[in-house]
Structure 1
Amino acid sequence: MPDSHPQPPHSSSSSGSSGPADPGALLLCGARLTDGRTVDVRLGGGRIEAVGTAGSLAGDGTQACGARVDLGGYLLLPAPAEAHAHGDTALSADEGGPVSYEPQDVQRRATEAALLQLGHGATALRAHVRVGDVPGLGALEAVLQARRSLRGLTELTTVAMPRLLTGVAGAEGLAMLRDALKMGASVVGGCPDLDPDPTGYVEAVLEVASEHGCPVDLHTDATDPARLARLAAMAGGLRPGVTLGPCGGLGRLPAQVASRTADQLAAAGVTVVCLPQGGCGGAERRSTAPVRLLRAAGVRVAAGSGALRDLSNPVGRGDPLEAAYLLSSRHGLRPEDAYDAVSASARSVLGLPEVRVEAGFPAELLAVRGGRLAGALSLAYSRIVVHRGRVVARTSAVREYCNSAVAAELGLPRQGRGEVS
């Protein structure tokens, strides 16, 4: 677990009086923090420059630049990250028929999906992309092009997912995987459950990852504890580390067996990304990993969205706050722990630095209308998203009651109108 008192990457004064204001600075005014304080936050150079009591930073020159955002009535949080998306198939259910892997279609969908998730607050995204069993590396190139077009709005990284890696049929997949990394994929992934030799598949993935010094992110829903134990043992020595998801099969194992497996995953340093919104497999496989058991064993648990309106989940929202809401409401996590799964832990999966609303930390922030985290997870429509120190997305929801006898009888405002959380 992260140290409770980490040193910020670049410390700076929190007094707000350290010299001339940055002309590109942004002042967030009157934001509420989860500890109950109401503060002003000054951003500059992509980082949090200062945090002070409300009104204390207004006279430091930032106001003269006009770069200020009133966050009265908003809760300010570290921005979430999307730890498990599928960039090549996202939004394909809307088109009907077979999924198109034409590069222009993949790029358009991947871009639209990333912007949708950015609007929800995710300023970083890990997209799994199939290689080998779809036309060449065209889908990967399309997602990489989407990444380039989104630069400055959100951070998109790609996971190369070959279908087969063992035997004669797997030789082409192995060559394609290496080519994918040369092209720009930064993570080795895949699904060993689909290969005739799951152990051999994992061995091949770990070997390629070791060659290139890159992380591993594998899909598995296996209910075979021996297979998961072998995977954990094989992954234990790899750095920068191994992520598994969605691991819903763990939830179908007897409690004692699942507990032993969780201990093995913890000892190997494996991170589990669960998918509480429905996963990325068929409906018959949709179950969520036993998050409380995993956390109790010391496994780092993050949460992702999985499928976003594709054939396996035609109604996916891609909303990190919905994932956190489900972890709290359905799986019993405290709201703070549930939000950690989509923010700090998700950022750790992506290899990103920690974010805190403190001077010196990256200015990756999400403001949601409301006063408490539990309320924000329950109903947070209005959001302001900050990436690299600037506002990149806003969503504002308005509720309006009609002027009717029913509204009057219920005591609701007649023609009432106002922003809702």
Structure 2
Amino acid sequence: MPDSQPQPPDGATANATALLLRGARLTDGRAVDVRLSGGRIEAVGTAGSLTAPGACLDLDGHLLLPAPAEPHAHSDTALSAVAPDRPVSYDAEDVQRRATEAALLQVGHGATTLRTHVRVGDAQELAPLEAVLRARRSLRGLGDLTVVAVPRLLTGVAGADGLAILRDAVKLGAGVVGGCPDLDPDPAGYVEAVLTVAAEHRCPVDLHTDAGDPARLARLAAMAGGLRPGVSIGPCAGLSRLPADMAGRAADQLAAAGVTVVCLPQGRCGGAEQRGVAPVRLLRAAGVRVAAGSGAVRDVANPVGRGDPLEAAYLLASQGGLRAAEAYDAVSAGAREAMRLPEVRVEAGFPAELLAVRGERLEGVLSLAYSRIVIHRGRVVARTNAVREYCDPAGAAALDLPRQGRQVRPETGA
């Protein structure tokens, strides 16, 4: 697992990549300057105290946060809901184009690192995986993309081909092995096969389950967590449909297994069965590590999916009952931990994976996060500016709000 402790900046490239973030506000209310160098945070000081030999970015009026990460995307089906009456195209060029566009969309929202689940096997074999890997290369430093290989069957006669394909997928470049044990006739055998391949190639495990059967979920969690660290299971939405005592026991078992639950607050819509969202407060209270992802980006499962981690955090706060800080932690620190990424803090020595959002408080940012600046490896990789103008009743011209003594920033409500 990557070291999560702060490391000194790379002095050899410090001056070439230096960037000063001036006047940003932190969640504790401090206004600070932040100097980035060599892909890391070199220094943090009070506003106006730092200088840098390179570029300077004025972040007055912005809240500076550790960048979110996306632990549960589906690049091979992303942006395929434009024609819901037609099956998803797995043409290699189409998959690559859609995967690239979806990744750029998510990076623009602030997710500088993505983990995407890609089906392997069946008639398409490894073609979708190869296309997504090409999309990963085309991002060219704008963001990092890790692929989870997802076979359909891994047991019995039919599963022999799936097991061979899974091993080939890892050799080809998939960095994580996963899948959906619930769809295999032998769920426990499926998990055992996944864990075997993961052990052979020393890679993480990320499993899908709806968790409608708490006993089955407990068995899968015990197998995965007991045999291998760094296992993620999600979205576990079925826990929300169980009686409180049964859900509580399942949560305790997940905590004992040491697995991370990746929930999907956006859920599903548009003709797909509404599956709900995992009970995040219950899971957190039991000591389960919880992360949150966006899931589908405009595919059949969610034709209006935005792929926006701040929307996921907003839903956890507005509907899941979490405080704003807890909700944002699920899409940032929690997501990074689930993906086995180094920790990010706005402190010297930590990776320069940052998101600046216009606003003053985290609650306001989750409510109206329009303008964003995304920093990946110490460089600005995406910028979104939102301007709102109010017109007179006739709609003839924009109102001159400053002249009237009032200026409205939609992100802050100030």
TM (norm. structure 2) is 0.93
User: Structure 1 CA distance, aligned partners of 2:282 and 2:410?
Assistant: 36
> Using a 3 Å threshold, how does the CA distance of structure 1 residues 191 and 390 change in structure 2: closer, same or farther?
same
TM superposition shift of 1:312:
1.1
Q: Give CA-to-partner distance per residue, 1:168-214, whole Å, 9 cap, x none.
A: 11111111000000000011111111111111111111111111111
> Deviations along 1:86-123, whole A, 9 cap, x unmatched?
01000011244110101111110000000000010000
The runs of 5 or more residues in structure 2 that have no matched partner are none
Match of 1:232 in 2: 221
Q: Indicate the SS of the match to 1:119.
A: helix
Q: Are 1:400 and 2:398 matched, yes or no?
A: no
Q: Work out which of the residue numbers 8, 15, 21 in structure 2 matches 1:10.
A: 8
Work out whether residues 280 and 312 of structure 1, in 8 Å CA contact, stay in contact via their aligned partners in 2: yes
What are the residue-to-residue correspondences of 1:125-136 with 2, within 5 Å?
Answer: 125-136=114-125
How big is the shift at 1:283?
3.1
Quote the residue 2:75 is aligned against: 87
Partner of 2:16: 23
CA RMSD of aligned residues (A): 2.5
Question: 2:71 is matched by which residue type in structure 1?
Answer: A
Deviates more, 1:35-44 or 1:277-286: 277-286
SS of residue matched to 1:310: coil
Asked if 2 retains the 8 angstrom alpha-carbon contact of 1:28 and 1:68, the reply is yes
1:356–1:279 Cα change, 3 Å? farther
Cα distance in 2 between the residues matched to 1:271 and 1:282: 29
Does structure 1 residue 71 correspond to structure 2 residue 59? Answer: yes
Deviation at 1:413, TM superposition (A): 7.2
- Structure 1 SS opposite 2:249: helix
> How far off its partner does 1:419 sit?
5.8
Q: Distance in 2 between matches of 1:407 and 1:188?
A: 58
Q: 2:45 aligns with which of 52, 65, 68?
A: 52
User: Displacement of 1:338 after TM fit?
Assistant: 0.3
Contact preservation (8 Å) 1:214, 1:240: no
1:340-367 Cα shifts (integer Å, max 9, x gaps): 0000010111111000000000000000
- C-alpha separation in 2, matches of 1:295 and 1:393: 33
Secondary structure of the corresponding residue to residue 72 of structure 1: coil
CA contact (8 A) 2:229 2:258 kept: no
Given that 2:9 and 2:40 are in contact with CA atoms closer than 8 Å, whether structure 1 keeps it comes out as: no
Task: Give, in whole Å, the separation in 2 of the partners of 1:319 and 1:201.
Answer: 32
* Correspondence 1:344 to 2:333: yes
Equivalent in 37, 61, 70 of residue 30 of structure 2: 37
Distance in 1 (CA, whole Å) between partners of 2:34 and 2:137 is 30
Aligned partner of 2:130: which letter? Answer: E
8 Å contact from structure 1 (residues 399, 417) kept in 2: no
Paired residue for 1:3? none
Partners in 2 of 1:54 and 1:221 — Cα distance? 47
SS at match of 1:104: helix
CA distance in 1, matches of 2:199, 2:271: 32
Going from structure 1 to structure 2, the CA distance change for 1:377 and 1:146 (only over 3 Å counts) comes to same
State which drifts further: 81-90 or 399-408: 399-408
- SS of alignment partner, residue 400 of structure 1: coil
What is the aligned residue count? Answer: 405
Give the one of 319, 328, 353 matched to 2:317.
328
Amino acid at match of 2:81: A
Aligned 8 A contact 1:248 1:285 in 2: no
Aligned to 1:377, what secondary structure does the other structure show?
helix
Verify the 8 A CA contact 1:83 1:349 in the aligned structure 2. Answer: yes
SS of 2:255's partner is helix
Q: 1:314 aligns with which of 298, 303, 321?
A: 303
Match of 2:363 in 1: 374
Deviation at residue 238 of structure 1 after TM alignment: 3.1
Name the structure 2 match of 1:15: none
- How does 1:110-129 map onto structure 2 within 5 Å? 110-129=99-118
Conservation of the 8 A alpha-carbon contact between 2:210 and 2:235: yes
| 1:182 counterpart (171, 195, 200) | 171
2:163 equivalent to 1:165: no
Are 2:142 and 2:381, in contact at CA under 8 Å, matched by a contact in 1? Answer: yes
User: Unpaired segments of 5 or more residues in structure 1?
Assistant: 1-5, 13-17
SS in 2 for 1:399: coil
CA distance in 2, matches of 1:78, 1:355: 6
Calculate the TM-score normalised by the size of structure 1. 0.91
